[in-house]
Amino acid sequence: MSQWVCICLTNFLQIQNEEHKIWALTSIFLSASNNLIMQLLFKEMVLNIRADEEIFLIASSEFFKRLDDASKKTFISAFSSNNNPLFSTLLNYCATIPSNTNIS
């Protein structure tokens, strides 16, 4: 699932409406998680249908930590090509995570 999400990231990043983009990305990261708290956040988010930048950062960084090194490169590459300040915050955080960290 994680590899599929990484491959599809560029498609999600092409969504023109920024709020819809953040909502879609957060939804996919939360739904791909095995973490019970992330799954509960997904249910809550679907019910509220609104983008939340803090939940996006939590979900995307939790997703990133579980990736293998090759998928982490794909993830970083996808977000690097977008000039959204929120994505810059995410990439700055991801840069602090050691490359061999994988908490599957």
Distance, CA of 53 to CA of 93 (rounded, Å): 14
Q: Is residue 24 part of a domain?
A: yes
Q: What is the pLDDT of residues 47-62, one digit of tens each?
A: 777 778 999 999 999 9
Q: What is the pTM of this model?
A: 0.83
Confidence of residue 44 (pLDDT cuts 50, 70, 90): confident
Q: Is residue 55 part of a domain?
A: yes
Q: Is residue 104 part of a domain?
A: no
Number of domains into which the chain is organized: 1
Q: What is the pLDDT of residue 45?
A: 78
Q: Is residue 99 part of a domain?
A: no
23-47 mean pLDDT:
86
Q: Is residue 13 part of a domain?
A: yes
Q: CA distances (Å), 70 to each of 29, 32, 64, in order?
A: 18, 18, 11
- Which of 29-33, 36-40, 97-101 is most confident? 29-33
Domain hosting residue 77, numbered range: 2-94
Q: What is the pLDDT of residue 90?
A: 95
Which one-letter DSSP state was computed for residue 104?
-
What is the chain's alpha carbon radius of gyration, rounded to the nearest angstrom? 13
Q: What is the DSSP string of 27-87?
A: HHHHHT---HHHHHHHHHHHHHT---HHHHHHHHHHHHHTS-HHHHHHHHHHHHT---HHH
Residue 83 phi, psi dihedral angles, 5° rounding: -95, 30
Q: Is residue 100 part of a domain?
A: no
